Amino acid sequence: MCDDQYLLAHVINLDSAGDRLAHMAASLDRLDLAHRRQPACTPQEVPRASAALGLRFGARLRPLERACFLSHARAWQEIATGPAHWGLVLEDDAIFARDAAAGIHFAARDSEAELVRIETLDNTSPRIRLRPDVRGGDEAAGFALHRLLGRTIAAGAYMLHRQAAGRLLAELRGMAEISLAVDEYLFLDPAICPLRQQHLWPAVSIQSSVLAEVPRSELPPAWATTGLPLFASSMRHEEEAPERKFRVRKSVGHSLRRWLTGHRRRPCPLSPAGPLLLPAGMGDAGPATTLARLAASAPDRQSAAHPGDV
C-alpha cells in the first residue's frame, strides 16, 4: 500500500451516504492508496463549523455551497496538521481510471506545485501551459504535469501539499468574507488562489454525475462501458444549483498572447486505460464496516521530503 506518511486520501462523505463510502473505500483499496473518511459538513452545521475554522462567508453563497466549502476546509486542516506530505482530497462520487495509482504516485513524486488537479470535467477546458513541466517515465509513461492557469471548476479530486494546506487556511481566515464556491476559489483564476498549480494529464478521475452526462461517442473507447456506479450530484441532490458558465473574451490581442506565451485552453482527456472496474461484491460493504475500515488509518511514520518541505 502507498505509504500513508507520503500520501493520504481524505474522502468527503455525508453520514447518510453509506453506498458512496463503500464505493470509495473499495476503489481506493483496489488502487492500494491509504485513505480516511472526512465527515462532510451539512447546512445545519455551517454556523458552528465556520466558527470553529475561523471562516466568514458572504451572502452570495447558498447554505449548501458553504457546507461544501467547509467540508473541504476540514480536510485541509487534517492535511495541514497530519504527517503525510500530500493529501488527496476526494468527493465521494469519484470514478477512477485503471491506472490512477500510477498517475497519482507520479504527481506526488515529481510535482513541485502545491495543488495538483487530477480530474476532468466535460463542459470546461482548463487553461494550461502547453509545454509540460514534467513528463512521466517507467510506470507513469504517458502522464505529464502541465502548469494550470485557471478557468475551470469542480473540486472532486485534487492533491494538496501539507505546507500549502496551512497557508491556504491562513489566507482564508484573513479574508473579510468568502464569496466564491470552493471549486471557484481553487481553480477559477490563479490570482484568487495563492498556490502553485498543475494539472495531471491525462486525468485519472471524473465525477459520476459528470460521466453520466457525457455521450458515449465523446468518451475514450475504454470508458464507453456499462456497469459503472452512478450517483446524483450532491450539489443538486438537496438544492438546485444554477449552472456556472465562463465566457472567454476572444480578440486578436488575446489570441496573440496565447501564441506568445504557450498558454491554451483545451479539454483534459480521461486516461485511455479506462475505468477502474470493481469485482462483484466490492463496494457493497455496509456503512458500519466501511466506516470502521476508513477510521483505522492512523499515520505514525515519517517519509522522504517533498521539494516543498525543504
Residue 24 belongs to some domain of the structure: yes
What residues have CB less than 8 Å from 73, skipping those under 6 apart?
53, 55, 169, 172, 182
Residue with cell 463503500: 22
| CATH code for position 178 | 3.90.550
Residue 152 belongs to some domain of the structure: yes
The pLDDT value given to residue 2? 53
pTM of the predicted structure, to 2 decimals: 0.82
Residue 308 belongs to some domain of the structure: no
The pLDDT value given to residue 265? 62
Residue 154 belongs to some domain of the structure: yes
Is 173 in contact with 90 (CB distance < 8 Å)?
Answer: no
Domain span at 274: 7-303
Cell representation of residue 121: 470535467
Radius of gyration for the chain, computed over Cα atoms and rounded to the nearest angstrom: 19
Residue 79 belongs to some domain of the structure: yes
Separation of alpha carbons 53 and 41, rounded Å: 12
Separation of alpha carbons 210 and 122, rounded Å: 7
Measured CA to CA in angstroms, residue 198 lies from 112, 175, 213, 276 at distances of: 9, 25, 26, 23
Please say whether the dihedral angle defined by the alpha carbons of residues 149, 180, 269 and 110, taken in this order, is positive or negative: positive
Residue 250 belongs to some domain of the structure: yes
User: 229 phi and psi, to 5 degrees?
Assistant: -65, 140
Q: Single out the residue of 109, 147, 105 nearest to residue 126, CA to CA.
A: 147
Number of domain units in the chain:
1
The pLDDT value given to residue 4? 56
Averages of pLDDT over runs of 10 residues in the chain (310 residues) are 77 95 96 97 97 96 97 98 96 96 95 95 69 82 88 91 96 96 92 92 92 83 79 54 43 43 67 82 46 42 39
Q: Single out the residue of 63, 114, 62, 127 nearest to residue 87, CA to CA.
A: 114
Return the SS3 of 104.
Answer: helix
Residue 2 belongs to some domain of the structure: no
The pLDDT value given to residue 153? 83
Separation of alpha carbons 283 and 290, rounded Å: 9
Sequence-distant contacts of 210-213: CB under 8 A, at least 24 apart: 210/121, 210/122, 210/154, 211/95, 213/122
First vs last C-alpha separation in the chain: 26
